[in-house]
Amino acid sequence: MKKLTVLLSTLALVLSMAVTGFAADTIKLGVAGPHSGDLAPYGIPAMKAAQLVVKKINAQGGVLGKQVELLIQDDQCKPEIATNTATKLVTDGADVVLGHICSGATKAALGIYKDAKIPVMSPSATNPPLTQSGDYPNFFRTIASDDMQAKMAVDFAINKLGVKKVAVLHDKGDYGKGFADFAKKYLDESGKVEVVLFEGITPGAMDYSSIVQKVRKENAEALIFGGYHPEASKLVSQMKRKRLKTVFISDDGVKDDSFLKVAGDAANGAYVTGPRDLSSIPLNAAATAEFKAEYGAEPGAFFQEGYSAALALLNAIEKAGSTDYDAVTKALRSEYVETPVGNIKFDSKGDAEGVGFSVYKVENGAFTELK
């Protein structure tokens, strides 16, 4: 029995040494996000972006003369798994991390990176408190936060559409409700508009006919919806069925080709906010071309943001001259970097300066940016 114990513990020791590894001299870029499960479409493009960036930079001689090594971890967008993946990245010695994708998972993981003094940059976590609370000095993002989006949607509704009565709906989710809460706040603050309805709808419910009738009863001129495209397409289809003329305004979660496909005709005339159209930026087009050359398909959601984040992180290490936490965060805040989302640096809270949203209108089954 004793022998067995000794044998097993020796074995365990050897194994663990193998895991923690013979640290080669590389810069380690951690990538975390959903790479499996139903939210994988939001995580895989950023992962591929990081792979493309690292491949390119390594071919050019790496960062600070060292090769960049990728550590990729799946968090399935679940907070409890995200803490595990964060721990994994920390123990594997990641110098900087690109991720996570979902706001909830990011929040759960950030504390771990903070303790380990690792800068983290998300291409997609738009939850405002991530930067605004000041709790996470190690957090940066290459996408604008939800409140900016809500502000833009509200301003558009008031100034461009001139509506007086607005219904605000959300899907009870983290993202959707956050957006709706901000929209309501800005609508109330404007003093020009009455919020006639503020409610959550149940994702997966059979239909939304009652709520659509309620919108009609309240005579809302516009409906601002916070949530994702499946519910949005159900709502617009039923509004069309019920011959409602209410204008539909929604968020980035709806600005997805699936919305156009599933809602069909009913989508026409809807407005959604989303990251500014950046295809005119040369680097943006180049990144897209790179992706197409490598994978033979269109890049998906958050590809450009992920590409930008990877560039920004590695650029900061290069400029800082080391992977030291203070030096890297300082470089992120002071040095401009050319990326597919523009020439950016980060403010003291971690939001990128120079990225923003636009309003898009659905016309003839396509999103058109309104300037």
Partner 1 sequence: MEYFLELFLGGTTRGSIYALIALGYTMVYGIIQLINFAHGEIYMIGAFVALIVAGVCTIYGLSGVSILILAGVIAVIYASAYGYTLEKIAYRPLRGAPRLSPLISAIGMSIFLQNYVLLAQTSDFLPFPRLIPEFAFMEPVAHIIGSPELVILVTTFITMILLTLLIKKTKVGKAMRATQQDMSMARLVGVNVDRIISLTFVIGSALAAIGGVLVASYIGQVNFYIGFLAGVKAFTAAVLGGIGSIPGAVLGGLVLGWAESFAAGYISSDYEDVFTFGLLVLILILRPSGILGKARKQKV
Partner 2 sequence: MLQDFKKSILVSIWFVFLTFPLMVVRVNTMDQVVIWRWMNLVWVAIGSFILSYLWRYMLSRKQARTKVAEEGGDTRTKLQLLLEDMNFRYKAMGVILVLILIFPLVFDTYQSTIMISALIYVVLGLGLNISVGLAGLLDLGYVAFFGVGAYTYALLNHHFDLGFWITLPIGGVLGCLLGVVLGFPILRLRGDYLAIVTLGFGMIFKVVMENWDALSFGPSGIANIDRPSFFGMDLSLANSTIYIYYIMIAMVIFTILITNRLKNSRIGRAWIALREDEIACVAMGIDMAKTKLSAYALGAFWAGMVGVLFASKTTFINPASFTFMESAIILSIVVLGGMGSILGVILGAFILILLPEYMRAFSEYRMLAFGAAMVLMMIFRPQGIISNLRQTYEYKGTKEKTDNG
Contact footprint for partner 2 (CB under 8 A): 1, 4-5, 8-9, 12-13, 15-16, 19-20, 36-37, 74, 76, 78-80, 83-84, 87-88, 90-92, 103-104, 107-108, 110-112, 115-116, 127, 129, 135, 172-174, 176-178, 200, 202, 261
Nearer to partner 2, 167 or 244 (CB): 167
The two most distant CA atoms of the chain are separated, in Å, by 81
Q: Do residues 118 and 99 make contact, with C-beta atoms less than 8 angstroms apart? A: no
User: Of these partners, partner 1, partner 2, none, which one is at the site of residue 155 (CB under 5 to 8 Å by kind)?
Assistant: none
What tokens were used for 332? 């992120």
Shortest CA distance to 224 belongs to which of 265, 264, 182, 189? 182
Measured from the CB of residue 213, what is the shortest distance to partner 1 in angstroms?
A: 4
| Contact status: 204 vs partner 1 (CB under 8 A) | yes
Are 149 and 252 contacting, i.e. CB atoms less than 8 angstroms apart?
Answer: yes
Closest CB to partner 1 among residues 41, 62:
41
Candidates 160, 164, 192, 241; binder of partner 1 (CB under 8 A) is 241
Q: CB of 308 within 8 A of CB of 340?
A: yes
Is 269 near partner 1 (CB under 8 A)? no
Identify what 83 binds: partner 1, partner 2, none; CB under 5 to 8 Å per kind.
partner 2
Interface with partner 1 includes 261 (CB under 8 A)? Answer: yes
Q: Find tokens 């809460």 and name the residue.
A: 181
Compute the residue count for the chain. 371
* Rounded Cα gap, residues 112 and 66, in angstroms: 26
Q: How far is the CB of 66 from partner 1 (least distance, A)?
A: 39
Residue 43, both tokens: 């995580």
Interface residue with partner 1 among 35, 100, 141, 234 (CB under 8 A) is: 234
Q: How far apart are CA 76 and CA 94, in angstroms?
A: 19
Residue 178 contact partner, candidates partner 2, partner 1, none, CB within 5 to 8 A by sort of partner: partner 2
DSSP letter at 61 equals: T
Which 3 state secondary structure label does DSSP give 70? strand
Binding of residue 233 to partner 1 (CB under 8 A): yes
Question: Please, what's the b/e burial string for 332-356 (b: 16 or more CB within 10 A of its CB; e: otherwise)?
Answer: bbeeebebbbbebbbeebbbbeebb
Nearer to partner 1, 37 or 111 (CB): 37
Out of partner 1, partner 2, none, which partner does residue 116 contact, by CB within 5 to 8 A per kind? partner 2
Q: Name which of partner 1, partner 2, none residue 25 binds, using a CB cut-off of 5 to 8 Å depending on partner kind.
A: none
127 binds, among partner 1, partner 2, none (CB under 5 to 8 A by kind): partner 2
Minimum distance of partner 1 from residue 153's CB (angstroms):
21
**Cis before 229 (ω within 30):** no
Please, how many CA atoms are within 13 Å of residue 345, restricted to the half-sphere of its CB?
13
Q: Which one of partner 2, partner 1, none interacts with residue 229, CB within 5 to 8 A by kind?
A: partner 1
In sequence order, the 6+-apart residues with CB closer than 8 A to the CB of 51 are 70
How far apart are alpha carbons 323 and 64 in whole angstroms?
A: 10
Interface residues with partner 1 (CB under 8 A) are 37-38, 41, 172, 199-202, 204-207, 209-211, 213-214, 216-217, 229-230, 233-234, 237, 241-244, 258, 261-264
